[in-house]
Structure 1
């Protein structure tokens, strides 16, 4: 059992009729663990195909307790950057793997795409996840600052820096990981990272955050991630 269990005192459990099922061989999946989890638990089509705008918005709100504006923003961004045009579009999760659209290098769970690849890898890179949660990088849990350090460590291995847009996207991902999965001690347990990032399943005893996660909160913590990365990079030079 994790030494830092997720705080469930004020939240409502996710319904227990959505058992985890690994994707079928022909399933469509994205580079985003959070979305793949929704498909693996049946909150959206388990095939990962033909997903409507409102289906995805509803799943994000139910499972992760995102506010309506944030769920709309993320879903619309994915649809447009995935090559579609609006709320009537239906997408496959793999559409979101288009390289350097919303996807970017230096993922905390995937290997990088080759420079001439149209689509990035969608399979979990077990080596990347294992390095992330190794005893040398964490003492059982990740603070937001720890996630910023993990982001920096992945980015320094790149041949070219992430562009400004994808730095914002990557910082937002770290912010949402912390907001969605932190426990009552303000840490994301290593076990949770292994299950959510590595196995793409809802962590054991998962409950949605007690307070809705919105744009303002996500943006503020993404800015903290960006600031810490800049500070850590300055110290290392």
Structure 2
């Protein structure tokens, strides 16, 4: 007899971990996937509301302001760059009025939502696999995925990359800023060799550095993260609660922390694009 997949219980409590199933939708981001696997986001990965995503992001310790910026930006309607370039530029008053009506429109280029993508009550929704749309938030040279141009695509977790990431630890106990910087430099070189269509410029590099900074700040002490935490996040896409991680209660990870941690990673990598 072949393997039988046991369906998940329908009454899984919010916060309880269960790995995603074959029909569930997920992102290229291990942290967002972990939130879905714990039920802080719809476990199916479908029809996610902005309020649900923002609450889930706050669950790991991001500030409400940073969570609001990230969430409301991606819930903008996805822009067709070719169509936008052909449109007549609106007047200054029209642009001011548009910003008054929707302040997040200034971040419109990060929009992932399809036109008229709403639920039965007219509320904006998106599916988690829309995070994989190239050139919005997703970028080449992921820590745990191939590039979208490659055969494997950018949604499939590559266990060999995760093992290489964990093996980057100098002492086998923690991954420091320097360890992670060295790993990203190796990933950049590997993708330059393996992907002729690689797109990795200053914006993609800054985004990649900010992702590392966020992981170090939210799940570590800002300068390192325990290997067992990183293994849970990247290999199982699980919040490392069993390993001892807890959300910071005395402070949240906001804009200032993100700026500082991003600069720290950029400095450690030391390359200019």
Aligning the two structures, in what range does the TM-score lie when normalised by the shorter sequence?
0.7 to 0.9
- Determine the structure 1 residue equivalent to 2:136: 101
Deviations 1:81-106 (A, max 9, x none): 35327995211100000123211121
1:39 and 2:68 are equivalent in the alignment: no
SS of alignment partner, residue 156 of structure 1: helix
Question: Shift of residue 207 of structure 1?
Answer: 0.8
Question: Shift of residue 157 of structure 1?
Answer: 1.7
Larger Rg over CA atoms: 2
CA–CA distance in structure 2, aligned partners of residues 190 and 136 of structure 1: 8
CA–CA distance in structure 2, aligned partners of residues 166 and 89 of structure 1: 27
- Determine the structure 1 residue equivalent to 2:217: 179
Long gaps (5+) in structure 1: 1-15
Contact 2:61 2:248 in 1 (8 A): yes
1:213 and 2:213 are equivalent in the alignment: no
Aligned CA distance change for structure 1 residues 181 and 32 (closer, same or farther; 3 Å): same
SS of alignment partner, residue 68 of structure 2: helix
Question: Shift of residue 31 of structure 1?
Answer: 0.2
TM-score, normalising length from structure 1? 0.81
CA–CA distance in structure 2, aligned partners of residues 161 and 148 of structure 1: 19
- Determine the structure 1 residue equivalent to 2:175: 142
CA–CA distance in structure 2, aligned partners of residues 175 and 73 of structure 1: 17
1:168 and 2:206 are equivalent in the alignment: yes
Question: Shift of residue 173 of structure 1?
Answer: 0.3
Question: Shift of residue 161 of structure 1?
Answer: 6.0
The root-mean-square deviation of aligned C-alpha atoms, in Å, is: 2.5
Contact 1:31 1:120 in 2 (8 A): no
The structure 2 residue matched to 1:70, chosen from 52, 66, 69, is 66
TM-score, normalising length from structure 2? 0.71
Contact 2:40 2:56 in 1 (8 A): yes
Question: Shift of residue 76 of structure 1?
Answer: 2.5
CA–CA distance in structure 1, aligned partners of residues 178 and 23 of structure 2: 38
1:156 and 2:189 are equivalent in the alignment: yes
Aligned CA distance change for structure 1 residues 135 and 148 (closer, same or farther; 3 Å): closer
CA–CA distance in structure 1, aligned partners of residues 169 and 18 of structure 2: 32
CA–CA distance in structure 1, aligned partners of residues 126 and 171 of structure 2: 37
CA–CA distance in structure 2, aligned partners of residues 163 and 121 of structure 1: 18
After the TM superposition, which segments of 4 or more aligned residues of structure 1 sit over 6 Å from their partners?
Answer: none
- Determine the structure 1 residue equivalent to 2:162: 129
SS of alignment partner, residue 267 of structure 2: helix
Counterparts in 2 of 1:11-50, with a 5 A limit?
18-50=15-47
Aligned CA distance change for structure 1 residues 103 and 137 (closer, same or farther; 3 Å): farther
- Determine the structure 2 residue equivalent to 1:83: 112
Contact 2:60 2:218 in 1 (8 A): yes
Question: Shift of residue 135 of structure 1?
Answer: 6.2
Aligned length: 213
CA–CA distance in structure 2, aligned partners of residues 33 and 161 of structure 1: 21
Question: Shift of residue 120 of structure 1?
Answer: 4.1
